[in-house]
Amino acid sequence: MINIPEKSKVFSPIQLELLKLFAHNPSDEELIEIKTLIGQYYSNKLRQLANKFSKENNWTEEYIETILNDPKQ
């Protein structure tokens, strides 16, 4: 087993956690699942930020749809 330190000056905490995870030699299927979970995490974070921004600027669903469907964008 590979000894991965708890702290590092080279790697961030998330990188260390990923190194620990990958030290267990996950299968290709598990890697796809992990990538999917990470993608879902960042998608949710982005959605939360977009919702917060739209609420702060009083954007309605209709206005957002107008922006999304504007051919000039």
Contact of 11 with 19, CB cutoff 8 Å = yes
How many whole angstroms separate alpha carbon 57 and alpha carbon 71?
22
Task: Give the mean pLDDT of 23-49.
Answer: 95
Contact criterion met (CB below 8 Å) for 25 and 1: no
Say what the pLDDT of residue 2 is.
75
The sign of the CA dihedral 53, 13, 39, 41 is negative
pLDDT at 7 over 90: no
pLDDT at 11 over 70: yes
